[in-house]
Amino acid sequence: MPNLNLPPSLFESTGGFIRVPVWGHIALAAPLKSVLSHPNFLRLKGIRQLSFAHQVFPGATHTRFEHSLGVYHLMKLILQRLTTSELAMSLQTDAFRFDENACKLLMASCLLHDVGHYPHAHVVEDLEIASTGKPVFDHHQDLTESFVFENIKGFGSLAGILEEEWDLDVRQVVQMVEGRKPLAFSKVISGTLDPDKMDYLMRDAHHCNIPYGNIDIERLIESFVPDAKHRRFAITSKGIAPLESLMFAKYMMMRNVYWHHTTRTCSAMLRRLLQDAADEYCLSPEELRKIFYHSADDRVLYDLQGFLPKTGFAAISLSHDLLNRVPYKRALTISFDEKGTKRDTKEKKFFTEISSNPKSFYQRLFELGAKAKLRKAKEIELCRFVSRKFNLSLAGHEIVIDAPSRKTIFDYEDFCGLQICDTRGKRPVFKSFDTYGESLFRSNFILEAEKYAKKFRLTARADVAEKLRTRIEDVIDILQG
């Protein structure tokens, strides 16, 4: 029999709805309203979900505010399924049970999972001062605690709301969002089947007006069951098709939106601008943090330009280019597939040679993505090479490297642990997704997707890019050196 003692927080509504694109009406309860009305949550209305993507997709101006609401909404739907389904209820254990407190903890964590975000956080949060290796910005998840506990006159703190109106241990919420250590429900809010991923794929595709993110979310959620052994969500066979859509949607969104060359180029230009500002002590790390942590996307580049020196700082031209939408052009693109395939016939022979021993060269490219000091040194070296060969006078920032990080697009280990709940026998049996045998997708799809979605790009000012394309062999030698 389904549980008749349902968690009240999953079904309560004090009247009123909020309309959110993609999901429509979301019922409002008093505790939810209090969070939505707090300044530290309202600030998310000024932080775009997709950073520079609106330069390519004009509709992509949606914000972390509506995304956070969407993630909360999906988690609520998932929990309603888990607490009303006879199968889902039967698979819960004392150590992995979705009672009232667990449901409130998960919904609050989903609602506040992005509360520490600031403009272009994913672009700049790994930025380091080249001379010291010290980070300039905090990771957005590490700012969760400060925004949650900050007391604002007339509004109190989000922590106070969580304690008084949600009846939650605030430290548990913060720990869930920060994700520094594994907790009982950590994999529920961050994994292959998390509501964060389900929302942003649908939402980003909607606002970019492209068809790749369409997923049958309702059927996927209807298939959810708890995998108590591994403390995560599993699905029944009914969820395989929508899960395949989810996986393919992420791959297609990576290729066509998240890794779009213009978006990535603008991000690389901003990163180099901030790198030089920090390295040349034009702005201290404290000043940079103040600009980004307390500004909105619409203002942050203007605020940054206002604080940068007007003379003696050559890289300020990057700021002008970003504000006027004059992105650098691609001079070289390298794919990470084993064959080293290239469409440009002029470059084929070089990439054929690279592919004969790809690991050493690709290793070097990943290092450029991970090490700010090395990346900047290569950019300056390339600028000096062009200046020498073409009698130019480049300052060193006219060539910018966009190198991928080692962080995987898909969480391969998490996906390998995904279970299918087989209900065809007398008792439910959990089997790994790879061995269940009813999908063409396997975990090797993730490994292949990593190769084809990620690109190494060398970008430059338009006139410089044109010259670089005539010296590909020399460019490769410099990158390998």
Query: pLDDT tens for residues 434-443?
Result: 888 788 777 7
Rounded CA-CA distance 259/103 in Å is 35
User: What one-letter code names the amino acid at 398?
Assistant: E
Is the residue at 265 inside a domain?
no
Q: Render 133-158 in DSSP notation, one character per residue.
A: --BSS--GGGGHHHHHH--BTTTB-H
CATH number (domain holding residue 130)? 1.10.3210.10
Tokens of 152: 């604002």
Same domain, 337 and 232: no
Same domain, 375 and 417: no
Is the residue at 308 inside a domain?
no
| Contact of 270 with 124, CB cutoff 8 Å | yes
Q: Render 276-307 in DSSP notation, one character per residue.
A: HHHHTTSS-HHHHHHHHHT--HHHHHHHHHHH
Rounded CA-CA distance 402/423 in Å is 47
**Overall average pLDDT of the 276-302 stretch:** 93
CB count in 10 Å sphere of residue 13: 12
Q: How buried is residue 271: exposed, middle or buried, by Cβ count under 10 Å (0-12/13-18/19+)?
A: buried
| Contact of 335 with 453, CB cutoff 8 Å | no
| pLDDT tens string 160-183 | 999 999 999 999 999 999 998 888
The per-residue pLDDT for 435 is 85
The per-residue pLDDT for 356 is 52
- pLDDT band at residue 446 using 50, 70 and 90 as cut-offs: confident
The per-residue pLDDT for 357 is 57
The per-residue pLDDT for 350 is 46
The per-residue pLDDT for 342 is 44
| pLDDT tens string 64-85 | 999 999 999 999 999 999 999 9
The per-residue pLDDT for 345 is 43
How many domains, the chain? 2
Same domain, 108 and 253: yes
Distance of CA 244 to the CA centre of its chain: 20
**Overall average pLDDT of the 417-430 stretch:** 93
- pLDDT band at residue 339 using 50, 70 and 90 as cut-offs: low
Distance of CA 394 to the CA centre of its chain: 34
Rounded CA-CA distance 410/454 in Å is 12
Rounded CA-CA distance 210/204 in Å is 9
Mean pLDDT across the chain, nearest whole number? Answer: 90
| Contact of 291 with 306, CB cutoff 8 Å | no
Same domain, 354 and 366: yes
Q: Which of 179-188, 195-204, 285-294, 447-456 has the lowest mean pLDDT?
A: 447-456
Of 6, 16, 33, the closest CA to residue 89 belongs to 6
What DSSP element (H or E) covers 462? helix 462-468
Whether the predicted pLDDT of 343 surpasses 50: no
Higher-confidence position of 310 and 325: 325
| Contact of 392 with 196, CB cutoff 8 Å | no
Same domain, 350 and 231: no
**Overall average pLDDT of the 419-434 stretch:** 92
Tokens of 220: 């996927």
Q: How buried is residue 93: exposed, middle or buried, by Cβ count under 10 Å (0-12/13-18/19+)?
A: exposed
User: What one-letter code names the amino acid at 293?
Assistant: Y
| pLDDT tens string 5-37 | 678 888 877 778 999 999 999 999 999 999 999
**What three-state secondary structure class fits 435?**
helix
Same domain, 348 and 433: no
The per-residue pLDDT for 241 is 94
Same domain, 444 and 458: no
Q: Which of 215-219, 235-239, 430-434 has the lowest mean pLDDT?
A: 430-434
Whether the predicted pLDDT of 63 surpasses 70: yes
Whether the predicted pLDDT of 279 surpasses 80: yes
Buried b (16+ CB within 10 A) or exposed e, 189-213: bbbbbbbbbbbbbbbbbbbbebebb
DSSP strand pairing (419-422 vs 429-432): antiparallel
Rounded CA-CA distance 329/331 in Å is 6
**Overall average pLDDT of the 420-441 stretch:** 89
**Overall average pLDDT of the 223-242 stretch:** 96
Is the residue at 371 inside a domain?
yes
| pLDDT tens string 346-375 | 444 444 445 555 567 778 888 898 888 899
Is the residue at 303 inside a domain?
no
Is the residue at 266 inside a domain?
no
Percent of the chain with pLDDT over 90: 73
Is the residue at 206 inside a domain?
yes
The per-residue pLDDT for 347 is 45
Is the residue at 222 inside a domain?
yes
Same domain, 385 and 437: no
**What three-state secondary structure class fits 268?**
helix
| pLDDT tens string 386-414 | 999 999 999 999 999 999 887 777 778 88
Alpha helices in 143-260 (DSSP H): 144-149, 158-164, 170-178, 186-189, 195-208, 217-222, 240-253
Rounded CA-CA distance 60/457 in Å is 23
Same domain, 446 and 458: no
Higher-confidence position of 389 and 129: 389
Tokens of 433: 């997704």
Rounded CA-CA distance 472/481 in Å is 14
Of 231, 261, 306, the closest CA to residue 55 belongs to 261
Same domain, 81 and 150: yes
Host domain of residue 339:
329-409+454-481
pTM over 0.85: yes
Q: Which of 161-165, 295-299, 310-314, 418-422 has the lowest mean pLDDT?
A: 310-314
Same domain, 420 and 339: no
Rounded CA-CA distance 348/360 in Å is 18
Is the residue at 212 inside a domain?
yes
Same domain, 209 and 250: yes
Q: What is the largest CA-CA distance in the chain?
A: 81
